[in-house]
Structure 1
């Protein structure tokens, strides 16, 4: 009988401890049903959910915690077991809780709260675990209101780098109406780069996509898929098996699928099998080129990558996306041929184009691809008068740079140029990014030469006059000689 009385007294004392206990410095008190959590540092357009882990009951100023029904298995049989202690710590500051009729202690401290949050996130994919509320951020904060007292987990949906420690865990009790959680969550991103912002048509381009291996804690299925779509003016050079994928510094072939369908490259990852590489950089590299449909000068030739990733452990089909794009520009050199005196348009002049490596432009008329060859093999263009009245010719599909016009045939009646004409294709930039390309244009003047004599023309007359003059001089000299001899005979 004495033992029963002692046992009863022990339980009564434990209950008294529970009723008088709070959560130490981590608690924020509010009236039941009127609790409020403000989540700050949110990302506009992203969703945030809260889950109640512990229920809280109140009697006057005293509170006690019990495990929320859907979380009982987590704390009794799962990863949450290590956060329920049989005894209080040496400081005596752990909060008591009744588990399966026995008094235990909530062993969640500043030192292990980050690990606890991660363990709790691992439960979110279970059907029994229900969201308390979900809201989409319209700005840099979102507020959950009308909450019952309890201990809550804040989950930024889709985030792969969750907040640390108490920034993702908060307790509502009965003293102040609000609690604030400052989230530091980041989301999957993808970045796209090209090695040449301007290029010749047909020139090889190397594209690089980068992202990071996400933390998939809490997911039973996780989508992580990149789709890279080329515009009409671009063509893949790489075949699917030539697309390289590395994580960190290691190339990978397992748990990744690569395929190309027309203008779309798709790379998918089984991220649940790559969790030993969380946080490491994913690098995807492939090659492409500008083709005959490339936009010249007026606009860029873009391509866009879309990363699709899971964002809700409760819904395996729910995904979010993020995008990035790159642009490649190509342009042309235009030569405008005019008379050096009156600026009259001159057609019939022929030119070749040389680059700064001493090679000459050659274009394939069917593919429009540009190669650089010796002068003898080079493409020759001829100036013709267009509807605008100008005599022009052009070399199309060129990267930015310095070029040299070499005249190979002058218009009829004009001298061939003996010097090359320098012309430059330039770009405009914003923050070191090419935003536009400017055609290289050159006005080339020719001057007519001195007209050579021809049969029946002024040349005949000129020779006749010159010949007559020579004869007159000769006759004059002969006459002068005869007069001199006559004078000598008289003497």
Structure 2
């Protein structure tokens, strides 16, 4: 808009000079350079542009390019072919942003309907033009470099009237962000969105992705816009919670306003692959092109929400316990320009879980069967487990929280142990307590993420020496022995002592009975 105002000012000056019959100081046509930069001030060296001079400025005279005069008149909606009338109509657009943008788009469409290469004034393959004759230009971006945005910019109107001119091009970067919805640790009534969390087997994990929409030109067609979401093997889609897709407006403070709830089959389709672990949302409705163009210009985003169950059914065998998490990744595939489809990197979030392995032994290390344990987290019963022939019981529903482990039934002949009270915490690294929003995951794909981004589990409490964190895999183990929890060991004197005492009492009673009987018989005689 600033360049359009400058054109208007110069046009008026030229008209004044010409009306007064003053000879200009221009001895010959002058040229200048044009550099195109992105919003960060970087030269768009990886993009290509075509320049079309629609008005020339030569030796103080301004003239409309006859090749484009009909196109310009149609774009302005005027019938006059007089150059001064045409330039005056262009100048009137200086305070009308929408009208100026429409004018540029209409002129571009008219030129592209011709043989554009035959009428191009200059071409740039590095974001720079040199030696452009002074005048008014339409600049059309023809391809997008990897670092220069993700969609062709709208056509640009620029006036070249000095040695060097710079223009910042509004480029559009598409991206997608994945988050896990969890209760706010500071206030459980509120929700926060994080990159990592902990959950127990059987828990529901709520996911949200937000993807930006490139700013496409009005004439863009056959736009590709696909969201691919992949769960790792330990996660299963929650059939009771549908996949929701909608268009949202995200404010600077992060608050979200729903613009439109999208409908499957009408606005998008969903397909599944990888045995149902991956779904692909494709924006391919009847009006998808016009919708994406409009939403992109408004700065709206596409939001996808759904839930998964950790370790549901057969997936339990694939759950990563301890330090290795259960990732969920998403990527965006989109049209970058008229002939190029591009993909974002994966954005990944991770859910960690753990398990507590109980080993029940006597003082000699022999495994004991039949011990029944109950585990409580934050005052709520988690599960009940019984040691098998191997003396082992496993609680596979461990996440962060305050725990009490109780032995409700001891093996025959043994006393129950004292309760073990402990707290479980998890960290990503150093002081990054899970859940957190600062765990930036830069690896691509679920396998690399699961291997590279691990949780550090910490056990605290009065009996922390009873719960051991495995240094290799991070799982929790406790070995319950007589020496630790005052349980009679197997093979101890508990039952033997009672047996011996019983035999002695019976023997004494029998002896006394015999003696007493003999005395009675002697007295009777």
Q: TM (normalized to structure 1)?
A: 0.64
Task: Identify the match of residue 117 of structure 1 among 86, 101, 109.
Answer: 101
1:53 Cα deviation from its structure 2 partner: 3.3
Structure 2 partner of 1:48 = 47
| The 10-residue stretch of structure 1 (297-306 or 44-53) with the greater mean CA deviation from structure 2 | 44-53
Residues 206 and 39 from structure 1, CA distance in 2 versus in 1: closer, same or farther, beyond 3 angstroms? same
8 Å Cα contact 2:327/2:349 also seen in 1? yes
Whole-Å Cα distance in 1 between the matches of residues 130 and 417 of structure 2?
83
- Note the 1:287-436 alignment, pairs <5 A: 287-290=307-310, 291-292=315-316, 293-312=318-337, 315=338, 317-323=339-345, 324-335=347-358, 345=365, 347-348=367-368, 350=371, 351-361=373-383, 378-382=384-388, 384=390, 393-410=393-410, 414-428=414-428, 429=432, 432-433=437-438, 436=454
1:272 aligns with 2:289: yes
Q: How far 1:394 moved relative to its partner?
A: 3.4
Does the 8 A contact of 1:296 with 1:397 survive in 2?
no
1:251 maps onto 2:261 in alignment: yes
8 Å CA contact retained: 2:76, 2:90 = no
Provide the C-alpha distance between the structure 2 equivalents of 1:257 and 1:215, rounded to a whole number of angstroms: 22
Gaps of 5+ in 1: 1-12, 23-28, 88-95, 137-141, 362-377, 385-390, 468-491
SS at structure 2 position matched to 1:106: helix
- Structure 1 partner of 2:238: 237
C-alpha deviation, 1:410, in angstroms: 4.3
Is 1:331–1:398's contact at 8 Å kept on the other side of the alignment?
yes
* Match in the other structure for 2:202: 202
TM-superposed CA distance for 1:297, in Å, is 1.9
Equivalents in 1 of 2:239, 2:41: separation in Å?
Answer: 40
Distance 1:330 1:243 in 2: 24
| Alpha-carbon distance in 2 for matches of 1:320, 1:432 | 27
Cα distance between partner residues in 2 of 1:57 and 1:456: 116
Relative to structure 2, which stretch is displaced further, 283-292 or 150-159? 150-159
Secondary structure of the 2:344 match is: strand
Q: 1:117 to 1:263 in 2, by over 3 A?
A: same
Distance of 1:383 and 1:180 partners within structure 2: 79
Residues 1:187 and 1:44: Cα distance change in structure 2 (over 3 Å): farther
CA offsets 1:138-183 (integer angstroms, 9 cap, x no match): xxxx5444656552436494657969xxx9543224x41x211224
Tell me which of 57, 64, 67 is aligned to 2:62: 64
2:133, 2:502 → 1: CA distance? Answer: 118
Q: For the structure 1 residues 120 and 325, does the alpha-carbon distance in structure 2 shift closer, same or farther, using more than 3 Å as the test?
A: farther
Within the candidate set 71, 76, 82, 2:73 is matched to 76
Q: Distance in 1 between matches of 2:302 and 2:16?
A: 53
Equivalent in the alignment of 2:11: none
Asked whether the 8 Å contact 2:150–2:172 carries over to 1, the reply is: yes
Matched, 1:181 2:178: no
Deviation at 1:20, TM superposition (A): 9.2
1:379–1:118 distance in 2 versus 1, CA, 3 Å: farther
Provide Cα deviations, 1:303-353, integer angstroms capped at 9, x if missing partner: 2211122222xx2x412222422221121123466778xxx7463263332
Q: C-alpha offsets along residues 347-389 of structure 1, whole Å, 9 cap, x if unaligned?
A: 326333233343232xxxxxxxxxxxxxxxx3324595xxxxx
User: Residue by residue, what CA displacement relative to the aligned partner does 1:218-256 show, whole Å, maximum 9, x if unpaired?
Assistant: 3122122211122222222249x9322222433222222
Gap regions ≥5 residues in structure 2: 1-14, 183-196, 249-257, 440-452, 458-474, 510-525
Larger Rg: 1
| Conserved? CA contact 1:20–1:64, under 8 Å | no
The answer to whether the Cα contact below 8 Å between 1:229 and 1:305 also exists between their aligned partners in 2 is: yes
Aligned with 2:385: secondary structure? coil
> What's the counterpart of residue 159 of structure 2?
171
TM-score normalised by structure 2 residue count: 0.60
Alignment partners' CA distance in 1, 2:208 and 2:319: 20
Asked if 2 retains the 8 angstrom alpha-carbon contact of 1:122 and 1:218, the reply is no
Give the one of 442, 448, 451 matched to 2:493. 451
> Which of 37, 40, 46 is equivalent to 1:39?
37
Deviation (angstroms), 1:406: 1.9
Q: How far apart, in 2, do the equivalents of 1:448 and 1:122 lie?
A: 88
Count of aligned pairs between the two proteins: 395
Alpha-carbon distance in 2 for matches of 1:111, 1:453? 100
CA displacement, residues 166-224 of structure 1 (integer Å, 9 cap, x when unaligned): x9543224x41x21122443323322222252222332222222235554323122122
CA contact (8 A) 1:354 1:404 kept: yes
What is the root-mean-square deviation in Å for CA atoms of aligned residues? 4.7
